[in-house]
Amino acid sequence: MENNIIFIGFNDGDTKYELLAKSTALVQPSLAEGSSMVAIEAFA
């Protein structure tokens, strides 16, 4: 499983949208937040 997960760190706006468009899944664990702007952007 470690070969299938890539931790990319901080990205600017353009790179973030490109990565979200190419991704198969978005995993964003959070204890304090049910939904976020990142999830909305991933659906766009």
pLDDT of 44 reads: 66
Domains of the chain, by residue range, sit at 2-43
What gap in Å lies between CA 10 and CA 3, rounded to an integer?
20
Give the tens place of pLDDT for each residue, 1-44: 678 787 888 888 888 888 888 888 777 776 666 666 766 677 76
Q: What does the alpha-carbon distance between residue 28 and residue 16 come to, in Å, rounded to a whole number?
A: 14
Residue 23 pLDDT: 83
User: pLDDT at position 32, please?
Assistant: 67
